[in-house]
Amino acid sequence: MLEINETMNKEHFHKHTTLNGQLSFDEISPGFPVIKINNEYACATISLYGGQLLDYKPHEQLEQVIWLSDQALFEENKAIRGGVPICWPWFGDYEKFPAHGYARTTFWEIESTKQTIDGGTEVILKMSCHELCQNFLDSHPLFDCDLAITITVASKLTIELKTTNNSQHTVGISDALHSYFKISDIHTVDVIGLAQVNFFDKLKNQEACYEESKMRFMTETDRVFIDTTNEINLNDPGFNRTITISKKNSNSTVIWNPWQEKSSQMSDMSNQAWLQMLCIESANVLKNQLLLESGETHRLTTSIAVKTYI
């Protein structure tokens, strides 16, 4: 945990202005610094732990767009449940290392903050792979990649994860922006954009093709859609809105809801929380894993826009 006191706060944040009041610096829990954004479009919170957006709400929306667990734990080596955790440099389990990699359990640094031409707010955080757990670096001494995340809060939310391979070798990485969306009720929302796309069902351990135009949810769902760059619409009649998720340089889309039983086993989710969240993740995983040549940079981008029904 970072020991944040007055001096530490200054060290973290002193180079960064408040951008005429758009930015402020705070802690969400002792030792867990966050950047708070409030501009003409929206409010948002970004955690330096995990380089993770925690919430985003355009002013005209009554509800948050991004879901953050009210039981989220702020503890070292534990990912924050909710927001947009970064899965990197692998997705899911990998050997003896923690699921979804280390990016979500590392403290990132602020690279820059600025006001965009249209009055939005841009925050860039960076993380060097030398921050990764020593265990991993010992067994992968040639791994040398840097990461930067650019979060732009404006009329829409844009998140870009940039990986640069600094090593002399080609490296294989997976990445995912594991976005948790806040929904009114998992039983009434639907997802459009995955018809005729092949997926790997993590629960059945098998591949299939999704035939239907609308995806609805009646049970636990954990699917990795492959070879798809499609835009997704998350229709939510209960919140009177559609969230549109578009992406660049992403060939996989992951859809996840743990349902009642699995979420009851999670210490960082309250009993009914699974009803109000759905993960739709822009990713490059499984056979869409990336091979980055020496010196190559990859940018995974997702944009999230919300439209209220008239």
Nearer to ligand TA6, 74 or 256 (CB): 256
Cα(272)–Cα(260) distance, integer angstroms: 8
Angle at 72 between CA 185 and CA 109, to 5 degrees: 120
Nearer to ligand TA6, 31 or 92 (CB): 92
Q: Which residue is nearest to ligand TA6 (CB)?
A: 256
Cα(306)–Cα(62) distance, integer angstroms: 12
Residues at the interface with ligand TA6 (CB under 6 A): 79, 92, 99-100, 178, 202, 222, 254, 256, 279, 281
Cα(187)–Cα(185) distance, integer angstroms: 5
Nearest to 46 by CA among 153, 161, 178: 153
Dihedral in degrees, nearest 10, Cα atoms 259, 265, 267, 273? 20
Nearer to ligand TA6, 160 or 222 (CB): 222
Nearer to ligand TA6, 83 or 120 (CB): 83
Nearest to 76 by CA among 32, 33, 36: 32
Cα(255)–Cα(233) distance, integer angstroms: 12
Instruction: For residue 189, report the phi and psi dihedrals to the nearest 5 degrees.
Output: -85, 160
- Residue 85 CB, nearest approach to ligand TA6 (Å): 7
**Cα four-point dihedral sign 147, 150, 151, 155:** negative
- Residue 262 CB, nearest approach to ligand TA6 (Å): 8
Nearer to ligand TA6, 51 or 58 (CB): 51
3-state secondary structure 182-240: ECCCCCCCEEECCCCEEEEECCCCEEEEECCCEECCCCCEEEEECCCCCCEEEEEHHHC
- Residue 161 CB, nearest approach to ligand TA6 (Å): 15
Instruction: Tell me the two tokens of residue 79.
Output: 């990912």
Nearer to ligand TA6, 55 or 144 (CB): 55
